[in-house]
Structure 1
C-alpha cells in the first residue's frame, strides 16, 4: 500500500502545529489514540508506543511493545496495541505505560475498536475479526472481507472496512453474525460513526463514503484527497487524513461540505480527537500534528 509523501497540494494550506517525536521513538508513526489526558502514538518501525501529554505536547515516555505496532486504542481497561508483525495485542497501563499483558490473536492484527464491553481486533492477513474480553480472553473469531483495516462501533454493531474487497461488513455486536456486506470505494481503509451514519475512507480513490447506519445504503461519496486513510468524528465534524497529499480535511456530517483543510506532517495516517483538539500521526516525518 502506497505511503506517498507528495506535498504539492498542501503547501498553500494553513498548517497544524507539528510536534516532532523523540529520535528513536517516532519512525513510522501510524496510529494514535487519546485517553483524555495523553496521546498514545504507535510507531511501526520502532516497535514502540510513545505517550505525549496533550496539554503541552511533552513526551512522557516511550515503551516497547510487540513487532510492528500499527493500531492503538484507549479503553477503560487500558491502552491496547495491535502488533502486526507477531500476531498479538498488548495491553498497557495508562498511568505509566507498563505492560499488563500480551495476547495472541489472528494473523496480522492491524485495527482495534472498543464496543459492547469488548475489544475487537481486525486481522489483516487472515481476513478475520477477533472478539476479546477486556481481560484479553478470546471470545470468538469472525470471518469478514479481505484485509480488514478499520472499523467503527455504532453502539450495537461493528462496521468493518475491507481494504482489498472494496466492501464494508456489518457484524452483529452480540453474536458476531454478519448483518450485511455493502459496497464502498476503492480500498476502504478507516471507518467512523457519527451517531446516525457510517463514514468510510477509500484509500485508492481519495474519497470518503457516507453509509446510512440503518441499512448500509450509500448516501454520498465525497472527494478528500489522495490516500484517504484515517478518520474520526469529534462530536461535531468528520476529520479525514489524506496520506498522499499531507493534509487533513474537516467535513460537515450533514452534507459532506468541506469546512477546512490543513497541512500536516509527511504521510499522515491516524487521526483522533481528545475533545479539545484534533491530532494526526505522520508516518513519514515521525511526528504528530495538532490543532491545539
Structure 2
C-alpha cells in the first residue's frame, strides 16, 4: 500500500488540482447514476449543462473510480453487472457480470475489489482488474453498504444499513473481525469516513439524524453527533479541515470542523431538496450532490454554502461521481482518494 504523503494527514494527496498523470488529460465531468431511469447523466461542471445520457444496466446505484483511476465502474445493482466508462472519452464499454453490486471498493494495495452485495448480505472480494471471484464473505447483517479503510489499510469498517450494524473487516484475511449494533433502535448507518489524522471514524445515520463517532482501532461504543435530518453522505474538503455532511431528509449540508469535532456551519438548499451522494470538485470550490428524490443535482459553493446551480437529471439520482479528482489511487465509492 502506498504510504500517505503526510503521516498526519490521510488526504494530503488530495490537494486542489493535484491530479495524477493518469487522469490529467481527462475532461472534467459529473457522472450521475439515475437509479430509476437506468441511465447515467453526464454534466459539464464548467457550464452546468448536461452533455450526454448513457444507458446502463438495471438500477445503477454508484459510479466508482477504479483503484488505478483509469476506469469508472457503474454499479448496476438489480442488473447484476458493472458497466465500465472510459473517462477519457465518456463512452461505455461491455458490462461485466457481477451479482448484486450495490457499491464497490478497492483494497489499498490495489489487488482486490470489494463488492458490497447488499441484498445478498455479502462482502465479495474480486480481482480488481478482471473482477474474477476470489472470496465471498458472509456479512451476517442486512444492507452492507458503505466503508472506509484504516490508515495502514489493515482493516476497514462497513455500515449495514438495514440491520443497524457496523463491521470491522480484516483486509488480508478477508474475515469479519468484530461487529456491533448501533445503540439506537432503528439505526440506519450510511456513509463511512475516517478523519485526516486516522484516529476518528464518522458514520452517517439517516435515522439518528447525525454522525456516529468512534475509535476504529478500539471499535468500542460510538457517540452521536447530531447534524440534520437524514444524515447520509460524507465528503472531506481539499484542505482536510472540514467534513461536509449531506442531510437528505431536510435539504441541508452540515459542515464539521475536524480540529474541534464540532459543527461549524449549516447550509440550507433554497426551497429544499434531498442531497444524497457526490463529491468535491478538483479545485475544492464546489460540492456536488445528487438530489435523490427530486431528479436533480446540486452544485454548492464551499466558501459560503450558497447554491450555484440546480440541474435536472433522470429519476432517482444516487451515487454521483465528480471526475477526475486529486489523489494517487482510489479506494472506491464515489471517490475516496489517497
TM range (shorter): 0.7 to 0.9
Deviation at 1:29, TM superposition (A): 0.9
Aligned counterpart, 2:213? 170
In structure 2, relative to structure 1, the CA distance for the partners of 1:4 and 1:163 (3 Å cut) is farther
In structure 2, relative to structure 1, the CA distance for the partners of 1:128 and 1:188 (3 Å cut) is same
SS in 2 for 1:96: coil
| Cα distance in 2 for residues equivalent to 1:14 and 1:160 | 31
Aligned counterpart, 2:300? 251
- Pairing 1:217-236 to 2, within 5 Å after superposition: 217-224=262-269, 225-235=272-282, 236=284
- Pairing 1:187-226 to 2, within 5 Å after superposition: 187-194=230-237, 195-224=240-269, 225-226=272-273
Report the more deviating stretch, 194-203 or 211-220. Answer: 211-220
Which of the numbers 65, 74, 99 marks the counterpart of 1:34? 65
The question of 1:130 aligning with 2:167 is answered: yes
Deviation at 1:245, TM superposition (A): 2.7
1:129·1:143 contact (CA, 8 Å) conserved in 2? yes
Q: How well do the aligned residues superpose, as a CA RMSD in angstroms? A: 2.5
Aligned counterpart, 1:284? none
Which of the numbers 12, 21, 26 marks the counterpart of 2:55? 21
Deviation at 1:216, TM superposition (A): 3.5
1:87·1:109 contact (CA, 8 Å) conserved in 2? yes
**Rg larger in structure:** 2
The TM-score, its normalising length taken from structure 1, stands at 0.80
The TM-score, its normalising length taken from structure 2, stands at 0.70
| Cα distance in 2 for residues equivalent to 1:15 and 1:111 | 29
Unaligned runs of 5+ in 1: 6-12, 278-292
Count of equivalent residues? 264
The question of 1:114 aligning with 2:114 is answered: no
Which of the numbers 125, 130, 134 marks the counterpart of 1:91? 125
1:153·1:193 contact (CA, 8 Å) conserved in 2? no
Unaligned runs of 5+ in 2: 1-34, 38-46, 327-338
Which of the numbers 168, 179, 184 marks the counterpart of 1:141? 179
2:278·2:322 contact (CA, 8 Å) conserved in 1? no
More strand by share: 1
| Cα distance in 2 for residues equivalent to 1:266 and 1:114 | 31
1:114·1:153 contact (CA, 8 Å) conserved in 2? yes
